[in-house]
Amino acid sequence: MSAAANIAIRRASAGDIPALARVWHDGWHAGHAHLDPEIAEGRPFKFFEDRMNPDCDCYAVALVDGEVVGFAGWEGGGIGQVFVLPDYHGRGGAPLVLAAAEEALHDEGHKLIWLQCRTGNDRARAFYEKHGWYVAREHEADIGTVTGREPIMVWRMEKKL
């Protein structure tokens, strides 16, 4: 039996917001803090919690035994977040929430979807490429912190649905 067999996927509810913020915070810091240590200092838990949209039906949640262990969020034609708690990396949750977000965007009528992946985050890039994504271009973007926006370089990755 695969690890993914123990993972349930559903849409998020407002009551999930603290758990989603924890996943986002812990997952972002595990995957990105080494790339941008100065930016990481400006992204405490409250930063992530304040940015979760409690009214949005645009999060797919991964649960193990009722505990939120991962999620993906989308808006418009893009996926903004795909994060899993570090203890659950490699256990099958990320592909499931990614697929749920892709399906939701397909159902909304999108034929080409996109996401941004921080340059240098080779693990994330390999994950997305394994699931049919490709790098369309590299460009400068910005990322939020408690003191404002900071420039970073990202790969714009795309996938045709």
- Residue range 3-160 in CATH 3.40.630.30: yes
What is the percent of the chain with per-residue pLDDT over 70, rounded to a whole number?
Answer: 98
Q: In the chain, what are the domain boundaries? A: 3-160
**Tens digits of residue pLDDT in 10-61:** 999 989 999 999 999 999 999 999 999 999 999 999 999 999 987 778 999 9
Residue closest to 97 by CA, chosen among 122, 123, 63: 63
52-87 pLDDT, tens digit each: 987 778 999 999 999 999 999 999 999 999 999 999
pTM: 0.94
Tokens describing residue 26: 């812990």
pLDDT at residue 2, as a whole number: 52
**Strands 112-118 and 78-84: what pairing?**
parallel
Distance CA 37, CA 99 (A): 30
Average pLDDT over residues 103-127: 97
The two structure tokens encoding residue 40: 């990481």
Whether the predicted pLDDT of 1 surpasses 80? no
In the chain, the amino acid numbered 83 is F
Whether the predicted pLDDT of 129 surpasses 50: yes
Q: In the block, which residue shows the tokens 């100065």? A: 38
CA 3 – CA 31 distance, rounded (Å): 21
